[in-house]
Amino acid sequence: MKVSILVPVYNEQTTLREILHRVRSVNLIVDEAHSTYLEAPIILEREIVIVDDGSTDGSEGILREEAAKGDIKVVFHGHNRGKGAAVRTGIQAATGDILLIQDADLEYDPRDYLSLLLPILEKRAEVVYGSRFLGGPRTAMLFWHMLANKIITLLTNVLFNAILSDVETCYKVFRADLIKAIPLRSNRFEIEPEITAKVLKRGHRIYEVPISYTGREYTEGKKIGLKDAFEAVWALLKYRFVD
């Protein structure tokens, strides 16, 4: 079984080599130490799909060097189109049985992969989200980001009859056939609520597991802002009624 790890990248030259090192080195062997339900250990094949979304710093050069090692697939957008466009490109390019989204900014830790993958491997879920609000270790999140996320998550739960705790998490994991069958249209950060809305509308329940989180400041390159929160709310309302 193959896991495709999708990494959208835009101007992440300071963290790019480190996140690739972490993704390459994380353990993807699931055995009796992780699950008593599996009949035999599973050695997961790893596919790393990077989508450079028109970076203007040194990210493109770094990716070309890393791609020469032969263990990653890199797709380059000719200009910046947004995270949603990069995620959609990554989904199209992936060939794995399971797809996992990984940001390139070191806020999320690949050591959480096995916890995220296990519910799917055990056939308990088709979609898994890593939640920053279920008790995992984390640095303090920016207050306004936390509040915006709570509002967006509450609205999602009301509109789609769910009990999620973290809609805006980066760590979203899917069976490939499920996510590839869903038409996704967002180009920017509203891809997060669009994915959630369309997964829930199709009757798929989302399984959450706790993850660790190391948030970064705007001075460190954080990109999401207040405008993105309003766009997320609009996306939820729109995709409740249209597809």
CATH number at residue 208: 3.90.550.10
Residue 171: per-residue pLDDT: 98
Phi, psi of 201 (to 5 degrees): -60, -30
| Per-residue pLDDT tens digits of the chain, which is 243 residues long | 999 999 999 999 999 999 999 999 999 998 877 887 887 889 999 999 999 999 999 999 999 999 999 999 999 999 999 999 999 999 999 999 999 999 999 999 999 999 999 999 999 999 999 999 998 777 766 788 888 889 999 999 999 999 999 999 999 999 999 999 999 999 999 999 999 999 999 999 999 999 999 976 654 555 566 677 888 889 999 999 888
Note down the domain range covering 202: 2-241
Residue 40: per-residue pLDDT: 83
pTM for the structure as a whole:
0.91
Task: Domain count for the chain, please give it.
Answer: 1
